[in-house]
Structures are given as structure tokens and as C-alpha cells.
Structure 1
């Protein structure tokens, strides 16, 4: 009965979950994955690793691992690469992209970055992972795989302590596998975000931000986030995702020389989801190579 319930749960949720790209509670510190314009905008080389586990304690629950690398090349060009692996039940999808950004100095204190990403997604569904009720092999239970090329675009602008971002990480609407009669489609997602940093005194500052996400056929999703930073060494934050979840977050810039560490705990606001124990844990590690010791860590921490 337990396995049957898991299977029914997966079939019901596949359209609601798998058609969407992963939500990140700590998106401010992982912008390169959703916007190629962020590639190489920070001082020095940057390696970012993020792990997200949803529905903790449920076998086959969504798990996401993202890794990205970026660096500035000269004064105006940034290059990067990113890999994102999403696994849900018997499905696994891996996105691999190369990113390019170009810097435009609009005014003395206003900078714009334009970005392009190119790559694709590797999809695999292994029905052999399903629990069989018979020892007789079923020819229909086999592994399916496919590759779908894609491109993405983005723009990012900063002015003093304010920033604005707009991006579509994957422009094309792709079907995960032609071998399946019913399968989820990966639809283009539009991200529009922005934020600021407001100093309170010499030690404290507030970093509010908004992130809107829209995909065809689904309601607009909005993340309302605010961090309080102490001496740019300890960031504590709270986020609300409309009609979905809230998050409590912590980010420690320069926890060790060249290393940033962050953690987020997410819980649903919907009573139906909260009854299932639908919690999420997210941890991020950033490694900075060759950056200045006093460099900031948020989206507005670009080279000026």
C-alpha cells in the first residue's frame, strides 16, 4: 500500500511539479543559474554549489544539485558554466549550459550586463526503479533518455546599491521524451527581480528584494525577501512565496577566507501541503578565488 500511495502521489504531482523549474530560497546568492548576465560580474573567480532537498523524509522526493563557475575576462566580458541536476522519483533531468555576459557602462554609477546561455538538458526516466510485484521482466519498464538543446537570455543592471534582473533561462518549449505517450513539457520561465541595500548605521543594513516568476498555464509566483546584515558578515533573512511557502535563511559571507556559506529552511503555507510534512532544506557554498577580502556577496556586488 505504501508503494502504491507513492506512485499515485507521483502521478498526481508530476504536472504540478515537474513542469516547473526549481524554486531557490537563496536565489540572491545563486543568480548565475537563472540569469546568464550574472556570469563574471563579481570580483574574481566564483564557484557556487547548492543542494536542495524537498519533502524531507519521503522516498523519491525532489532533489536538486546545482554547480556553477564564472569569471571576468578583461573589463567587459564574463564567462561561466552551470550544471543543474533535478531528480524526482524515477525521473532525472540535468541541465548543462555555457554562459556569456557583456558589460555596458551606461552612466558613471549605472552598469548593465547582457547575457546569453547555450546548452541543453539530458532527460532520463528509469522505470526499472519501480517496485515490481512480479519477478517476470516487463519490456515496457525500461530506461528512456533524450537530449534537448536550448538557449537562454538575460539582462542585469545595477545603480549604486540597487539592482534589477530579467531573464528567460530556457527559451524553447521542449518535450522531455518522445517515447512517452504522456510526459511533462519544460516551458519557458520568465524571471523578473530586483532589490536594494539600505544602510541603517555603520554595522547594520537591510537588503529587501522581489522575484517574480511566470510560466504559461500557472499563476504568477512572487518571492518577497528581506535580509538584515551585520557588518556584511552575518545575514539573516525571511522570505514569503505567495500562496506557497515561507523561508527562514542565514548567509555567512567570508565564514572563512574565500568561502561563503548559507542555509534555508522552507515550510509550506498551504494547509494541504503542510499536512504532508512538505519541508525543504537548502544549503549553498560559494568559493571565491582571487577576490578582494572586502567584496560583497549579494547581486549588487558587481565590479564597478
Structure 2
């Protein structure tokens, strides 16, 4: 009984807040697609960029979370970009599906020192569902609640806003997700109305002065959840190597922890991938280091991508810093 309680507590702790509040962020953004984190990255680059992610968490545990997502963004005119995000996230008998429609505008702060500032806005629509068809009685709960007679669902609308600063190889973005409070049933008192969370993402693209085909990219990702004041941090590093055709392969590692337990990581894992012509592939594996690690074999994520319609902008503020 104690074991079941521990497992249930961890399951709810890490993902009870993830659904309906925000789409869980793993390492999708490290698959050369920062648009996952913020609308401010929409339109930075020379292509219509599409990335599809499939994630299976805690392999070996029944009804563990599953996630599928699709991201697409491209530039319009010289200084703006638009993007679309679609996702489906399931966790046991609950699931959420949704979409984000994003717009970004990029300006030059200083042409010669390559300083740029970007503004981003997303409109979000989310549908949260509970499927009662698989509810079963247990020894502890011999009778189901008779008031639950059909599946439940609710839809929410919200907005994200963000800022992005770039200076040569350095970048830093600040994003606020779900800026509007959620409408709730004030008589139940069990739902949070404040679903705002802040995300800070920063990194630096280091180019090898002796070999321009080699890049190293350390980065950090910080999340703060205003509702319960939790926060987490990812520390990442990537290695990227190009060939003479601008194809490349990369490898890296990510380390995630709660900020009040920096030396007790939640997960750590390697990543690898490659880009060949217009095709992109990435794989990420996360080893769970909490108490639940004994009951699963880790989290796996695959990213597939395609780049289309190459068109170089006249404005450097929309050109990708990767291998420029």
C-alpha cells in the first residue's frame, strides 16, 4: 500500500499540474526548434520549418503519459514570422488537445554588432478531457461516484507573450504562458485559477575559430509556475559538426532539477540527431532519477523534421545564427 501511495504521489506531482496548465516541456526545444518554447522564434531562418515530435514517458508503466506534437513556422516578408503548434497529450484517463497560433516581429537594434529584438504573441485554445469508460472499482474504492455518469471536457482560451534578444551568438528569451487567469467553479475550490508560468531560455553559440564546421551550444532553460511557486531548470550542452554541403550531425546532454534540489536531478539524458538536405531527425532519452526510476526504463522522444521553400531574407534579423 505504501508503494502504491508513493507511486501515485509522484505521478500526480509531476503531471497533475502539467495538463490543462501548459503543455509539458521535455527536450523538444533542443531539436533545433526553439519555436517550441516561444512565439518570438517564429520566422527566424530561411525555410518553412516543420517539426513533429513523438514522446513516450516512463516506459514500462501502464497508462504513462504520451505526447504527440507538430510545430511549423515560417517568415512572412522580411521582418515577421507566423507559426502553428498542434498537440495531443494523454495521461491515464485524462487527455488534452490544443493549438497555438503565433506571430513574431523582429527588429534591428544595431546592424554592425548584430543586435536584434523580437516580440511574440500566441493565441492558445485547449480542450481538456476525462474518459470515464476505463474507471474501475478497487478494494479501497468499491463503488464509483454515482454522479459521474459521462465523460467530462472543458475548453480554455489563453495567450502567450514573449521577448527575444540576440547579439551575435548569444540569445535570451523571456516568455509568459497563459497570461489570463482561468475561469473556475468557485464553489469546488479544487482548481487553480492562476495558471501563469514564466520561461527563460538562454544560450550561446560558440564557433570553433580553427574549424568553422564545429559549433558548441551551451544553454539553460528556467521554468517558474506562479500558481504553486515551483520552478525547474534545465542545463544543456550540444555539439554540432557540419560537412561541406551544410549537412550536420549533433549530440548533447540535458540535466533537469527542481531549483530547491539542484543536486538531486529529476532527469538526465543524452540526445543525438542529424540534418541531411531538407530532412531532420533527432532522438532524446531521459533517465528518470526520482523514486519512480525503479519502475520504468526512461523517457524516449523522436523528432522528425522537414524544411521547405528556402528564401533568404534581406533583413539579418530573421537569419538563423546556426552556421551563418
- TM normalised by structure 1 equals 0.85
Tell me which residue corresponds to 1:96: 99
Once superposed, what is the RMSD of the aligned Cα atoms? 3.1
- The within-5 A match list for 1:222-301 is 222-231=233-242, 233-242=248-257, 243-254=265-276, 257-270=277-290, 272-277=291-296, 279-291=298-310, 301=321
Contact 2:46 2:320 (C-alpha < 8 Å) held by counterparts: no
Pick from 138, 151, 158 the counterpart of residue 159 of structure 2: 151
Pick from 46, 51, 54 the counterpart of residue 49 of structure 2: 46
For 1:127, what is the secondary structure of its paired residue?
A: coil
> What are the superposed Cα offsets for residues 261-296 of structure 1, whole Å, 9 maximum, x if unpaired?
1000001233x1222226100111121002379xxx
When residues 81 and 206 of structure 1 are mapped into structure 2, their CA distance, relative to the original with a 3 A threshold, is: same
- The within-5 A match list for 1:1-304 is 9-10=7-8, 13-20=11-18, 21=22, 22-28=24-30, 29-108=32-111, 109-131=114-136, 140-174=148-182, 182=190, 187-200=195-208, 201-202=210-211, 203-216=213-226, 217-231=228-242, 233-242=248-257, 243-254=265-276, 257-270=277-290, 272-277=291-296, 279-291=298-310, 301=321
> What are the superposed Cα offsets for residues 127-184 of structure 1, whole Å, 9 maximum, x if unpaired?
1122357999956242001111101101122221121111123213436888977457
For 1:174, what is the secondary structure of its paired residue?
A: coil
Instruction: Extract unaligned runs of 5+ from structure 1.
Output: 294-298
CA distance in 2, matches of 1:220, 1:136: 35
Question: Could you tell me how far 1:27 is from its partner in structure 2?
Answer: 1.6
Report the count of equivalent residues: 293
> What are the superposed Cα offsets for residues 67-112 of structure 1, whole Å, 9 maximum, x if unpaired?
1211111011111111122110111112211100011111111111
CA distance in 1, matches of 2:118, 2:28: 21
CA distance in 2, matches of 1:40, 1:289: 13
CA distance in 2, matches of 1:124, 1:145: 4
- Bigger strand fraction: 1
- TM normalised by structure 2 equals 0.80
Instruction: Extract unaligned runs of 5+ from structure 2.
Output: 258-264, 313-318
Contact 2:60 2:297 (C-alpha < 8 Å) held by counterparts: no
Contact 1:36 1:169 (C-alpha < 8 Å) held by counterparts: no
Contact 1:19 1:186 (C-alpha < 8 Å) held by counterparts: no
CA distance in 2, matches of 1:137, 1:197: 55
